[in-house]
Amino acid sequence: KAGVTQTPRYLIKTRGQQVTLSCSPISGHRSVSWYQQTPGQGLQFLFEYFSETQRNKGNFPGRFSGRQFSNSRSEMNVSTLELGDSALYLCASSLTEGVNTEAFFGQGTRLTVV
């Protein structure tokens, strides 16, 4: 079956703009989480959605937001982009929201803010 699909793969935006990233989870998976990866920082948790509801949120400013649709697809939005938002944004899907559930990652969206 198809894996986690993230679009677009690459993006270049200007400071002050806003951006929307998309994630389609594995068919049947209902939980979607978003992570930001920057050099030296590992993967920082952004938020998690399950059944269209945000279940967990990381320590990111309100410029970062997301949502999940009834088909479990998720979008992440970043408004008023800053240079420091340049990163690889990874989406992970899992079957349920419970712990010990293996998360499957997409290839990520590489965002560059100039």
Partner 1 sequence: DQQVKQNSPSLSVQEGRISILNCDYTNSMFDYFLWYKKYPAEGPTFLISISSIKDKNEDGRFTVFLNKSAKHLSLHIVPSQPGDSAVYFCAAEKTSGSRLTFGEGTQLTVNP
What are the tokens at 45?
A: 């948790």
Are 72 and 48 in contact by the 8 Å Cβ rule? The answer is no
Could you say whether residue 64 binds partner 1 (CB under 8 A)?
A: no
Minimum distance, C-beta of residue 106 to partner 1, in the bound complex (Å): 5
- The token duo for 83 is 């240079």
* CA 79 – CA 18 distance, rounded (Å): 4
**45/52 Cα distance (integer angstroms):** 18
Q: Which stretch, 14-22, 64-72, 73-81, 95-103, contacts partner 1 (CB under 8 A)?
A: 95-103
CB distance 101 to 94 below 8 Å: yes
- Residue 102's identity, in one-letter code, is E
Site for partner 1 in 19-48 (CB under 8 A): 31, 33, 35, 40-45, 48
C-beta of 42: minimal distance to partner 1 in Å?
A: 4
Among 2, 83, 100, 114, binds partner 1 (CB under 8 A): 100
Residue 102 binds to partner 1 (criterion: CB under 8 A) = yes
Q: Which residues bind partner 1 (CB under 8 A)?
A: 4, 31, 33, 35, 40-45, 48, 55-56, 58, 90, 92, 94, 97-108
